[in-house]
Amino acid sequence: MTNTTTIPTLAGDGSFTAYRAVPAGTLKAAIVVIQEIFGVNAGIRRKCDTLAEAGYLAIAPDLFWRLEPGIELDPDVKPEFERALELMGQFDQDKGIADIEATIRAARGELGDGTKVGAVGYCLGGRLAFMTAARTDIDASVGYYGVGIDGLLGEKHAIANPVLLHVPEEDHFVDKAAQAAMHAGLDDHPKVTIYDYAGEDHGFATEFGERRSDASAKLADERTAAFFAEHLG
C-alpha cells in the first residue's frame, strides 16, 4: 500500500508531505528514503516500493518543499536537470536534516519507540544520509554517491551507528582526491564501510533512465539489503 502523509516540522513553522510505502506482511523496521536533487520522483518512489516489498515501512520526505513543493524532475531532460541544480543551490541542508529528523520521529511515533529506523539516500541524499548519521539517532544509514562527504569528515566522530557508503570511482561530481580523502578519513572508522565501484559514474543505481548501470546497481542494492537486514532486523 502507498499513500502520502504530512509531517510537521520540528520547529513548528510548517509541514511537508512524504511518500509512504507500507509492507503487506510483517513489518521489520522503517527506512527514510532521501531524495536526489530531482525531488520525490518516480525513481525515489520505486525505491520506497522495493523496500516495502522487503518488509520495511519506507518514507520519502519532500525536502524541497520550502522551494517548490511536490517538484519531480527527470535527470535525462536537460532543462529539468538544470532546474535541479538551481534547487540544490538554494537548498538549506541544515533544515533538510531537521526535516529528516522529523520524519524519523514520525516513523518512531507511528511504530513505537522500540522500532529501528534507517536511512538511505542518493546523490544529495547520499550526502544527507552521512549528515543524518552524524547529527541524529538514526540506527543505520546508507549513502549512494554522496557529494562533498570529504568536506564533512570533521563530523565523523559523532557517528555512533553503522554507515555504508557506495562510491563510484568515475563520479564526475566527486573527484579522485575527494574519494581518497574519504578513504583516508573513514577507512579506520569502526562504524563506516565503503564500497568502491570501478568504472561507474554518479547515479549508477538509479531506478530509471540513462544513468543506470544494471550490474553494479544490483550489487550495491544487494549490499544495502544485507546491511539493513543486519542492523535493522
pLDDT at 151 over 90: yes
102-129 pLDDT, tens per residue? 999 999 999 987 889 999 999 999 999 9
**Residue in this structure with the C-alpha cell 536537460, named with its chain if needed:** 78
171 is catalytic: yes
178-196 pLDDT, tens per residue? 999 999 999 999 999 999 9
99 is catalytic: no
The active-site residue, picked from 99, 139, 171, 221, is 171
List CB contacts of 155: < 8 A, sequence separation 6 or more: 130, 131, 134, 135
The active-site residue, picked from 99, 139, 202, 231, is 202
So what's the pLDDT on residue 178? 98
pLDDT at 166 over 80: yes
Give the whole-angstrom CA distance, residue 81 versus residue 41. 13
List CB contacts of 227: < 8 A, sequence separation 6 or more: 140, 142, 162, 164, 193
CA 220 to chain centre: 14
So what's the pLDDT on residue 182? 98
**Residue in this structure with the C-alpha cell 538514526, named with its chain if needed:** 138
Cell of 190: 569502526
Give the whole-angstrom CA distance, residue 96 versus residue 116. 21
Beta-carbon neighbour count of residue 89 at 10 Å? 8
CA torsion through residues 123, 130, 117, 223, sign:
positive
